Structure 1
Amino acid sequence: MRDLIITNSSRLEFSMRVMDVLALEIAGGLAGLIHFQAPLSETAPIHTVLLHVCSALAFLLFPQLELYGSWRGRSLADMFIRLAASWALVLLVGLFFSFLIHHVGHVSRMWMFYWYAIGVTMLAVYRIGVYYGLRYLRTKGLNNKRVLLVGYGSTGQEMHRRALQQEWTGYDVKAIYAEGEDAAKIEDPSIARVNSLQEIHDYVVRNHIHEIWITLPLMASPRLQEVRYLLRNTLVDIRWVPDILGLQMLSNKMGNFLGLPVVDLNQPVSSGVNGIIKDIFDKAFAIVALVLLAPLFLVLAILIKLSSPGPVFFKQPRLGLNGRQFNVYKFRSMKVHQEAGNVTQATRNDPRVTPIGAFIRRTSLDELPQFINVLLGDMSVVGPRPHALQHNEMYKDLLETYMLRHRVKPGITGWAQIHGYRGETDTVDKMAKRVQFDLHYIQNWSLWMDMRIILWTAFKGWTGNNAY
């Protein structure tokens, strides 16, 4: 009974293919009633021809477009995108067919639009029913897949944890092969232990295992080769889950490069199309900010000039996107002085800080000229704060992931700053905490996250008592 659906998966797929055809036929008829206010049989014959041709094409093409594979453990949103794209492709082929038979001029585009919308809705709705129906059965112990884990390091443990927590996916870890210290981490007494790689094949056959998940670390390449050879005759699904949890990088996104699968380890989320969106937002925000803040800039410029001799703006080299050097602009908050080689951070009651400088530093008004840097493309409104070059040289060897923060543009404000990590970083621990928040921002970036940080900065300012 537990394997009833699994053993009849081909019949389930065929039933769904028939259901798709029926849904598309009904959707086409409903589209005709909505647009023509009459059955399709009373409209131009090409509509009826297209109805049956496209429905037949869906029956033939949908399996090739992977619409009937197992979606357990995969994103429902991805399924809907694939479904919408597949149905659009079928309609385009149908439209091309009508062009070939010289009837494309008689096809109602509005009817095609209604057919597409109703069709994709009907296909999605009944799939949701099937999806959640199968999920319910899995929570009751039906339609589950028995899994054998090979390797129980950080990735193996994480896969096991997710299989237990997300029981609706229907994966039941029955046995684990692990060596040395990893074997001692298996705490569940109900989990069978496979003692050697040579025993895996026999265990899989004897216990009707459906899938093998290989989670050996990358350093165990010889073992991976041995596993591949020993499982060459094992006729079940074998998944290799690369042990990338131990790699402290920005991302683990799979992609395709030169026709081969690759894993991007340090590609930030805010790249590609997301980067274009973020850049447009930055430029627009900077223009508005500079226009609105112009009167304040004038007042601060006058006060700075009156407080001590020297320029209004302070300019200092910093590292930007991918380590490119640029000059960051600030309102000058200190008396003009020379430093021999090393940059000394401001400390409490620093005699170099002018009276107006103490105020603008405490309120972060000294950072406002960096909107000019944003317009120049050197900085973003939100991002990791740029540090002095000497600090980069110091911390890049002390903190393993320090330089990853330069994979995005530095920002005027950031995730670390609104959580209180700003100002003086006189210890490695303080800098490590700031970098931790910076990497969290880079790994989890979204436009909404930027908006939250900007709003927090605008209404509450940068928190923390170590800004002087």
Structure 2
Amino acid sequence: MRLMDILVLELAGAVAALLHFHIPLAETPPIHTVMLHFCSALAFLLFPQFELYVSWRGRSLPDMFIRLGAAWGVVLLIGLFFSFLIHHVGNLSRLWMFYWYAIGVTALVLFRFAVYFVLRYMRAKGLNNKRVVIVGYGSTGREMHKRALQQDWTGYDVKAVCADPEDADKLIDPSVVRIQSTQEIHDYVVSNHIHEIWITLPLMASPRLQELQYQLRNTLVDIRWVPDILGLQMLGNKMGNFLGLPVVDLNQPISSGVNGIVKDIFDRTFALVALILLLPLFIVIAVMIKRSSPGPILFRQPRLGLNGKPFNVYKFRSMKVHQEHHVVTQATKNDSRITPIGGFLRRTSLDELPQFINVLLGDMSVVGPRPHALQHNEMYKDLLETYMLRHRVKPGITGWAQIHGHRGETDTVDKMARRVEYDLHYIQHWSLWMDVRIIIWTAFKGWTGKNAY
């Protein structure tokens, strides 16, 4: 691979000269030939420092390509500095170097794609595989086994599992050996020419990890620790670096950081446009509300927003003015409190439109988990284990749960559990395109529902 990379870069430099100078590289000022060989030799030395020649089996290809582009860019910058030191930088064509960089990166990527697909084909045919032992067969262990089977092009063949009896009983593949105890792992690895051990024990199994460390001290194979974070009902499992040590962020939504900025810009822009376009409809609804019953046009009620911060949600008033006496009673079918126009507004969700004001103020998103009454939060946070995780993102006007029919009255714990399940799926799988799909779905299908009273 290293030798092929140098050949590819040499050819890329020659092609760049033909594109830019329209003559062979040898006929250009000598600095270009010097740079060609200097940077190619430098790439031979520096590319390994960017981990370009380690096994990428089961790892992210985009990550490899980013490293490749960065490594080649560093080499060319060092080459440019070298030309400055020998006082020939004025004779060096920067445009030729740009062509060389672009052609070089493209050629290196295509070369790796070719190698990747050849290896992928070989592994799918059972060649060039690595034999694996999985220690621990909880949710993460089973998931790793399933992915090794489904993604056969990665070339991992699970040969044995060492787990507690209750977990080992979940193993349905009779060809996979069951190792009874950790003391037997080393002998099995040696006698069966195992290449890797995957440790997927739960986080609370620290004593067993210490025992494994001792039992595998003489086992000279690759050992990977995959923390059993799937057993934790959290929002994410992104690996990072904190204070110089590896960490796993368990409670960080995807829609945070840069993604959060993009989502916020999209939300506020969409809300501003929506409020302008809906202004005539707002006026008509306001007149109908005032004529149907005495009281304000807009209804305000406290809700919990991002990270539990309280805010007032805005709705068109759909009920007669009444006192709740610190108890929120959800609307039911044929509820006497609902005004004639209010029933129509609630069934069509038009009463929710003023929440675009909340979006513009930054309290809500266009898409997200629906905000519930404070009393419902207090009740369900103790009944449903993951209920409060939905407050790690801004609440929305519409959401993944709503377009799947989970809107309106939640008079049972099971109904609320289903809504929370869909809310957490949205948070864990968020993307801007997912928001767009939910908005389109809501516009055509999601405004009405049989449970909305």
TM-score range, shorter chain: over 0.9
Residue of 53, 59, 72 corresponding to 1:68: 53
SS at the partner of 2:197? strand
CA distance in 2, matches of 1:154, 1:419: 27
Task: Identify if the C-alpha distance between structure 1 residues 137 and 461 changes in structure 2 by more than 3 Å, giving closer, same or farther.
Answer: closer
What's 2:282 paired with? 297
What's 1:44 paired with? 29
Q: Deviations over 1:195-247 (max 9, x none)?
A: 22122112212221111111112222111100011111211100111111111
Say if 1:383 and 1:412, in contact at 8 Å, map to a contact too: yes
Asked if 1:280 corresponds to 2:271, the answer is no
- Following superposition, the deviation at residue 46 of structure 1 comes to 2.4
Asked if 1:402 corresponds to 2:396, the answer is no
What's 2:420 paired with? 435
CA distance in 1, matches of 2:326, 2:177: 63
- Following superposition, the deviation at residue 463 of structure 1 comes to 4.3
CA distance in 2, matches of 1:190, 1:371: 58
**Which structure 2 residues correspond to residues 333-372 of structure 1 after superposition, within 5 A?**
333-372=318-357
Q: Percent identity at matched positions?
A: 80
Residue-pair matches, total: 453
Asked if 1:220 corresponds to 2:220, the answer is no
Say if 2:305 and 2:391, in contact at 8 Å, map to a contact too: yes
Say if 2:316 and 2:354, in contact at 8 Å, map to a contact too: yes
Asked if 1:322 corresponds to 2:307, the answer is yes
Asked if 1:254 corresponds to 2:236, the answer is no
What's 1:461 paired with? 446
Task: Identify if the C-alpha distance between structure 1 residues 299 and 49 changes in structure 2 by more than 3 Å, giving closer, same or farther.
Answer: same
- The letter of the residue matching 2:62 is A
Q: Deviations over 1:57-82 (max 9, x none)?
A: 11111111001111111122222222
SS at the partner of 1:28? helix
Say if 2:347 and 2:449, in contact at 8 Å, map to a contact too: no
Q: Which runs of 5+ in 2 are unaligned?
A: none
What's 2:81 paired with? 96
- The letter of the residue matching 1:360 is L
CA distance in 2, matches of 1:212, 1:91: 40
CA distance in 1, matches of 2:164, 2:105: 49
SS at the partner of 1:193? strand
- Please, what TM-score do these two structures have when normalized by structure 2? 0.97
- The letter of the residue matching 1:150 is V
- The letter of the residue matching 2:244 is G
What's 2:95 paired with? 110
Moved over 6 A (4+): none
CA distance in 2, matches of 1:127, 1:222: 42
Residue of 12, 27, 30 corresponding to 2:12: 27
- Following superposition, the deviation at residue 44 of structure 1 comes to 2.8
CA distance in 1, matches of 2:47, 2:276: 54
Q: Deviations over 1:165-219 (max 9, x none)?
A: 2211111111222222123233333222322212211221222111111111222
- Following superposition, the deviation at residue 110 of structure 1 comes to 2.1
What's 2:402 paired with? 417
SS at the partner of 1:18? helix
**Which structure 2 residues correspond to residues 169-248 of structure 1 after superposition, within 5 A?**
169-248=154-233
**Which structure 2 residues correspond to residues 366-385 of structure 1 after superposition, within 5 A?**
366-385=351-370
CA distance in 2, matches of 1:104, 1:325: 61
SS at the partner of 2:230? coil
Say if 2:328 and 2:375, in contact at 8 Å, map to a contact too: yes
Q: Deviations over 1:374-424 (max 9, x none)?
A: 111100111111000000001001111100000000011111111111111
CA distance in 2, matches of 1:337, 1:154: 50
- Following superposition, the deviation at residue 336 of structure 1 comes to 1.2
CA distance in 2, matches of 1:463, 1:107: 67
Could you tell which deviates more after superposition, 138-147 or 374-383? Answer: 138-147
SS at the partner of 2:307? helix
Residue of 296, 303, 309 corresponding to 1:311: 296
What's 1:388 paired with? 373
- Please, what TM-score do these two structures have when normalized by structure 1? 0.94
* RMSD (CA atoms): 1.3
Residue of 57, 77, 82 corresponding to 2:42: 57
- The letter of the residue matching 2:12 is A
Residue of 148, 153, 164 corresponding to 1:168: 153
Residue of 128, 132, 140 corresponding to 1:143: 128
Say if 1:342 and 1:390, in contact at 8 Å, map to a contact too: yes
- The letter of the residue matching 2:137 is Y
Say if 1:420 and 1:462, in contact at 8 Å, map to a contact too: no
Q: Which runs of 5+ in 1 are unaligned?
A: 1-15
Could you tell which deviates more after superposition, 49-58 or 185-194? Answer: 185-194
SS at the partner of 2:48? coil
Task: Identify if the C-alpha distance between structure 1 residues 69 and 463 changes in structure 2 by more than 3 Å, giving closer, same or farther.
Answer: farther
SS at the partner of 1:421? coil
CA distance in 2, matches of 1:409, 1:52: 55
Say if 1:419 and 1:463, in contact at 8 Å, map to a contact too: no
- Following superposition, the deviation at residue 464 of structure 1 comes to 2.2
Say if 2:39 and 2:75, in contact at 8 Å, map to a contact too: yes
